[in-house]
Structure 1
């Protein structure tokens, strides 16, 4: 499962990315670097924290997150 399903390959940032760095800060395994846009490394756990924290909804996971909603924890 981990070999094929837990991967950062489908992640990308759309042109609406403002390079705010929130995705980099939210990543629990420090797998994201923001250069011009986020760049995912090879140690992704597919937790989608980067997706849910993006204020522009620029972080996407292939077609799976297209037109989906984000979850915002009201206690953070």
Structure 2
């Protein structure tokens, strides 16, 4: 019974993410940027297999982008 429960939880989490992402994708790119999101990352996360956690993917992308931004601002 656990695999079904696990799948249902994954599906529910993906549906929550889908609603959030669709709402965010209605915003302008500069607004998304201010919120720390990137349109391409959101669209990519919507196409991930259901077994992949879209929220973890988005957070990893945000973290990577923030780290790269800090690295670029540091003096060489």
Query: TM-score, normalised to structure 1's length?
Result: 0.33
Select the structure that is richer in strand. 1
Higher relative contact order (CA 8 A, sep 6+): 1
Query: TM-score, normalised to structure 2's length?
Result: 0.33
Which of structures 1 and 2 has the bigger CA Rg? Answer: 2
